[in-house]
Structure 1
Amino acid sequence: MSLAPAGAVPVTAATTAGTTAGRGAPPARRRPARRTVASVGWGVLALLVSAAFAFPVYWMVSTSFLPTDLISGPELHLWPDEPTLRNYDTAIFRQERSPFLPALGNSLQVTFLVLVASMVLAFLGSLALTRFRFRGRRAFVLSILVVQMIPGEAMMITVFQLVDTWQLLNTVVALGVVYLAGVLPFTIWTLRGFVNGVPVELEEAAMIDGCSRPRAFWKVTFPLLAPGLVATGVFAFLQAWNEFMMALIIMTRPESMTLPVWLRTFQQATKATDWGALMAGSVLVAIPVVVFFLLVQGRMTGGLVSGAVKG
C-alpha cells in the first residue's frame, strides 16, 4: 500500500536521469580530469627545468671526451663521436702543468678538517643556545647574523696579513681555520633550528625513567638530530670544497693549491685554453661532490624536512 500523498509525482530512475541530464554533469566529475591535466602540465614543467639544469653538466662530461680539434671545429657535437681519454691524461699527468694529485690531497684534507670541526663546534654552540640560558645569549645570536652579512672578499687583506704574521702561508691548517671561521656562523644558526625542533620534554621523560642528563641526550635527542647534522654538513662540505678566493691568496705555491685554484691554471694569458682538458678537470673536481651526495642523500632529505617541522 503506497503512502505517497495525492498528486505527488513518484521519483523513478528515469526522472532522476532526466533531471541530471537537464542540469549537466556534476562538477565533482569534472575535477579529476582538471587535476590530471594540471599534474601533467606540472610534470612537463619539472622535466624542462631539470633538463635545463642537467644540460650544462652533460655538456661538460661530453666535451671532456671529445678530441681538441672537434671541440674547436665548426660542427656541433652533442655526443662524443670519437671518444678519447687524452683530455684526462693531460689534466692529470701533464708535466708542465700544476700537479693534480697534490691539489686533490689538499682539498680532501682541508674539507675533512672543516667538516669535522664545524660539525662539532656548531653542534655544541647550537645546543648551548637552545638548551641553556646565560647572559649575552641574545647578543651572541645577533653577532652570528652580523658576521654572515660580511662578504669574505672584504676581509682578504686582513686574513692574508694575519696568516702571514703567523707564518702559516701554504698550510692546510691556516686555510682550514679561515674556512671554519666563514662556515661556523651559518652552521650554528642552521643547527639551532634543528635543536629547537626537538622538544626538551623528551629528555625530561628519559630522566624521569632513570637516565642521567648526558645519557638522555645521547640516547633520545641526538638520534633525532642526526638528519640535521647531515644537512648542515653538506653545506660545510660544499663551502670548503668549492671555495676559491681565500685559497688563491693563502695557498700560493703550486704544490699547495686546492682543486678550484688548480682548475684556474688551465687558462693562461699567453696560451690558448685547452677546453678539453679544462672540461676533464672540471669533471674530476665534481666527482667527489657527487659521491658525497650519493652517500648522504637519504639523510640530507630527512634533515631538510625535519628542520621545517617542529615537534
Structure 2
Amino acid sequence: MNRVSHRQAKRRAARTGQYLALLGYLVFLAFPLLWLISTAFKPPRELASLHPGWIPDRPTLDNFRQAFDEQPLLRAAGNSLTASLTAALLTVAIATPMAYVMARHHRSPLSRAATGWVVVSQAFPFVLVIIPLFLVLKNLHLINSLAGLILVYVVWSLPFALWMLAGYVRAVPRELEEAAAVDGAGRLRALVSITMPLLTPGIVATALFAFITAWNEFFFALVLLKSPEKQTMPVILTHFIGAEGVADLGPLAAASLLATLPSLALFAVIQRRITSGVLAGAVKS
C-alpha cells in the first residue's frame, strides 16, 4: 500500500513539475506580446516614467490614432497581405508535388540533388544573395513591384517547405496507395483520394509557415521596394523611428500590435483544420 501511494506521489510531483515548466514556457512566449499590448495603451506621460507598471493607469487609444495619422498602415497591411497570401499559395502548390516525388523516390539522383539544394540554400545569409538577386530582378523588370517580391518569397520559402512536406509524405504508408491500386485506382486517383487528404495537416502547416515568413520579412522588402505606396508592413514600422534612432514608442507599439493580428488570426482559423486533418489521417491510416 505504501509503495502504491509513494508511486502516486511521485507521479503527482512529476506532473506538477511538468505543468510548472509548461506555464513558465508559456509566460516566456507571451511576455513580448503582453509588453506590446501594455505599451500600446499607455499615454506618453506613463511611457516616459522611470518605473512604468504593466497595467496602464489610464488606458488610451491615442497611440493607435497617431499611428494611423502618421503612416499609411492600411495600405501597407494590404501590400503585406497580398504578398504573403500569394507567396504561401504558390509555395504550397509548387512544393507539394515536388515533395511527393522526393519522398517516394528518395534514392534517385534527382531527389538527392533536391535534398542537397534544400540543405545548401538554408546556409546562405541574405547579404550574400541580395546583389545577384537584385540584378536578376532588374533584368526581369521586377524591381519595385509586389510581383518581384512575391517571386523572392516563393523561392526563399520553397526549400524549407519541401523539407517539411517530404516528411509528411514519408509518414503516409505506401501500402495505402498500393491497396488503392489493387482496387483499380490509378496513381493520380490514389494520390488525390488517399494521399492528399492525409497530407492536409502538412500542407496547412507549410502554408502557415510560408505566410508568416513573408509577412514578417523586412530585408528583401526594404531593398526591392522603393515606392512608398508599395511598401509592406515591416518597412512601414521603421518609419516610427527617428533619424537619431529615437523611437516614437507608443505609436510604434500600437502599429506593431496591429501587425501581429493577421498571423494570430490566421493561426486561430486554421488550427482546427490542422487538428481535424491529423485525426482524419489517424483514422484512415
- TM-score scaled to structure 1, two decimals? 0.84
Of the three residues 234, 239, 247, the one matched with 2:213 is 239
Structure ID, larger Rg: 1
RMSD in angstroms over aligned alpha carbons? 2.2
Are 1:85 and 2:64 matched, yes or no? no
Could you give the per-residue CA deviations for residues 288-307 of structure 1, whole angstroms, max 9, x where no partner exists?
A: 01101101223446779999
Aligned 8 A contact 1:68 1:274 in 2: no
Partner of 2:158: 184
Of the three residues 25, 30, 43, the one matched with 1:67 is 43
CA shift at 1:184, angstroms? 0.2
* Aligned pairs, number: 281
How many Å separate the matches in 2 of 1:303 and 1:146? 32
- TM-score scaled to structure 2, two decimals? 0.91
Partner of 1:220: 194
Partner of 1:14: none
Greater fraction helix: 2
How many Å separate the matches in 2 of 1:200 and 1:57? 43
How many Å separate the matches in 2 of 1:274 and 1:140? 46
How many Å separate the matches in 2 of 1:272 and 1:206? 64
Identify which range, 251-260 or 209-218, moves more after superposition. Answer: 209-218
Partner of 1:119: 92
Are 1:152 and 2:133 matched, yes or no? no
CA shift at 1:212, angstroms? 2.4
How many Å separate the matches in 1 of 2:187 and 2:110? 24
Secondary structure of 1:84 counterpart: coil
Partner of 1:7: none
Output the amino acid matched with 1:195: V
Could you give the per-residue CA deviations for residues 200-246 of structure 1, whole angstroms, max 9, x where no partner exists?
A: 22112112222222112111111111011112122111111111111
Partner of 2:78: 105
Aligned 8 A contact 1:175 1:246 in 2: yes
Could you give the per-residue CA deviations for residues 143-165 of structure 1, whole angstroms, max 9, x where no partner exists?
A: 22111221222111111222223
Partner of 1:21: none
Could you give the per-residue CA deviations for residues 178-219 of structure 1, whole angstroms, max 9, x where no partner exists?
A: 111110011111111111111122112112222222112111
Partner of 1:38: 14
Output the amino acid matched with 1:82: R
CA shift at 1:43, angstroms? 1.5
Partner of 1:254: 228
Identify which range, 25-34 or 117-126, moves more after superposition. Answer: 25-34
Could you tell me which runs of 5 or more consecutive residues in structure 2 were left unpaired when the two chains were aligned: none
Distance 1:74 1:147, change over 3 A: closer
